Amino acid sequence: MPCVMVDIESDGPIPGDYSMICFGAVVVESALNRTFYGRLRPISEKWIPEALQVSGFSREEALAFDDPLDVMARFEGWLKENAKDRLLFVSDNNGFDWQFINWYFHHFLGRNPFGYSSTNLGSLYKGLVKDMSANFKHLRKTRHTHNPVDDAIGNAEALLHMKEALGLKIRL
């Protein structure tokens, strides 16, 4: 079951009313070199300047990004090419990242290649170390920049550390 670490940036708190601006993904494996990056044109007139600012893009830049349908179709193709078996969606904050990816896949393609479930990296770590206040972020090697590919790679590094150094039983 290939793990795909995903990170998204948006211009607001929920999909539909607001837009996913960009996202990154990486297949979790030692090389961490199979990545995807998509920038999506906003789908709504609503946006929160402070939320958009996190992505590093202006509204004008975002309006020139690719059509979301095209980006989601390319992402689905990349997933089929790079992760052949049933996929496992993992993210730092899957309550946020998953809702956007799931909504965009269903809205634009009528399906989600990840299925109906996801895994939260922070919760996984808390269970692994048996401490509900523990935080995994010190396990990242790649700096957290809010570039979603960098952030996905850093989170994948943390998951690999959990497997290799902490004994997490996960098939990658």
CA-closest candidate to residue 43, choices 14, 18, 73, 13? 18
Confidence of residue 46 (pLDDT cuts 50, 70, 90): very high
Confidence of residue 115 (pLDDT cuts 50, 70, 90): very high
pLDDT at 18 over 80: yes
User: Structural domains in the chain?
Assistant: 3-164 (3.30.420.10)
Cα 69 from chain centroid (whole Å): 17
CA-closest candidate to residue 34, choices 80, 93, 67, 97? 80
Residue 103: its pLDDT value, please? 98
CA angle 106, 70, 143 (to 5 degrees): 85
User: Once rounded to an integer, what is the mean pLDDT over residues 24-40?
Assistant: 97
pTM of the model: 0.96
pLDDT at 163 over 80: yes
pLDDT digits (tens, 9 = 90+) for 47-104: 999 999 999 999 999 999 999 999 999 999 999 999 878 899 999 999 999 999 999 9
User: What residue has token string 């402070």?
Assistant: 50
Residue 15: its pLDDT value, please? 98
Residue 86: its pLDDT value, please? 83
